[in-house]
Amino acid sequence: MGTPEAGGPGDRVDASGFPHREPGPINVQRYRHVPAYSGIATFLGLPLCLTPEDLRAGGADVAVVGAPVDMGTGHRGAAFGPRAIRSSEWIMAHTPAALMESDTRTNPFDELTVVDYGDAAVDPLSVDASMEPIRGVVREIAETGAVPVVLGGDHSVLWPDAAAIADVHGPGSVGVVHFDAHADCAESVHGHLASHATPVRRLIADEHVPGRNFVQVGLRSVLMPDDELLAWMRAHGMRSHFMAEIDRIGFAAVLEKAIAEALDGPEHLYLSIDIDVLDPAYAPGTGTPEPPGLTPRELLPALRRICHETPVAGIEVVEVAPYLDPGNTTAMNARKAIFECLTGLALRGKGVPGPAYLDPIAAGLDEPS
């Protein structure tokens, strides 16, 4: 029998169980100290899981999974985002045990078992055909009790990602905190329902998430929402915080409002971070940059707070386009965003009180004697 032709049915066979092995995380790094540019590119060099049985056997608290699609944004390169985030030289080496979040002096890996779960089986020729495989793998993680952290890919993945969390926890029980320069509520783009500009509309129309439980922060696009779309958003009760409001009352006040609104009803939260919420000075490698935006000093502590102070059940970081990313700045900030989220989850797991916890020494509250 000959080898199947590339692109044939055999290419979509799930080989994660071959050959037979005992379930559990697999350490794919040969050495204990692996430079960030070396070894097999799992997130921070973490062990790999391929099946739900691996997640359960390893007691995984968090599983990082890639959703490498960019057809929904016009092929600007976001499909390479998961690989770029995994291999970003944010730190010298992939040694999670040595990492410390400086504001809280917390190593999240002391409290959490975090693994890499590979990538969803996306269709490289169809964003529509990629939605269900992404939804399936995110649901697979959530059903084990682990928190999925999805590496995009363009923002079309919000539709299957948040829908998967609603599949597990129940429609209407999940709210979304959505950091983005764009509202992403369009009915369609050139007739396509699945795109990076439509996922919020799809989730509300499919009744996975009520409109009033979408909380948006950082909107400022010159293209959307227009008056018609803004009327639709308000009619569905969405809470949207534009940069104009942030300029008027300050980011800290807007964040307080967003956290309170996020806890208004839902038992679980999904955190969606489009990297273009950052100003292009800090995230040039994205398909639709929009100045002026948030700074990392605003966004990163906010992500940590939300994961610490609210019941986050899933996270995504999307729209990193590495070929547009001189200096690796965007991938670096995306990776640090995930690290801050993990720190927040660890603080919540430890029962550290909030709000806005800071280590006393780091905050200058505990002077040497």
Query: DSSP per residue over 319-352, as a string?
Result: ---GGG-GGGHHHHHHHHHHHHHHHHHHHHHHT-
pLDDT score for 6: 47
Query: What is the share, in percent, of the chain residues with pLDDT greater than 70?
Result: 90
| Host domain of residue 268 | 23-350
Whether 62 maps to a domain, the answer reads yes
Task: Quote the mean pLDDT of the chain.
Answer: 90
**364 token code pair:** 């200058």
Say how many domains are in the chain: 1
Whether 1 maps to a domain, the answer reads no
Residue with tokens 């200096």: 327
Whether 361 maps to a domain, the answer reads no
Sheet holding 214-219, edge to edge: 114-119, 62-67, 147-152, 312-318, 268-274, 174-179, 214-219, 239-242
Looking at residue 180, which CATH number applies to its domain?
3.40.800.10
Whether 367 maps to a domain, the answer reads no
Angle at 37 between CA 337 and CA 26, to 5 degrees: 80
Whether 366 maps to a domain, the answer reads no
pLDDT digits (tens, 9 = 90+) for 168-219: 999 999 999 999 999 988 665 667 766 776 888 989 888 889 999 999 999 9
pTM of this prediction?
Answer: 0.93
50 pLDDT more than 60? yes
Whether 358 maps to a domain, the answer reads no
pLDDT score for 262: 86
Among 35-49, 174-188, 317-331, top mean pLDDT goes to 317-331
61 pLDDT more than 50? yes
- Dihedral angle over CA of 144, 149, 155, 157, nearest 10: -20
Average pLDDT in the 122-134 region? 92
Backbone angles phi, psi at 110, to 5 degrees: -75, -25
Whether 8 maps to a domain, the answer reads no
Q: How confident is the model at residue 280 (pLDDT cuts 50, 70, 90)?
A: very high
274 and 180 Cβ atoms separated by less than 8 Å: yes
Whether 56 maps to a domain, the answer reads yes
Distance in angstroms (rounded) separating the CA atoms of residues 182 and 221: 6
pLDDT score for 92: 63
Q: How confident is the model at residue 88 (pLDDT cuts 50, 70, 90)?
A: confident
pLDDT digits (tens, 9 = 90+) for 343-352: 999 999 999 9
> What is the radius of gyration, based on Cα positions, of the chain?
20
Q: Which residue has the higher pLDDT, 88 or 69?
A: 69
Distance in angstroms (rounded) separating the CA atoms of residues 150 and 134: 9
8 pLDDT more than 90? no
Residues 6+ apart with CB under 8 A from 135: 160, 161, 163, 164, 167
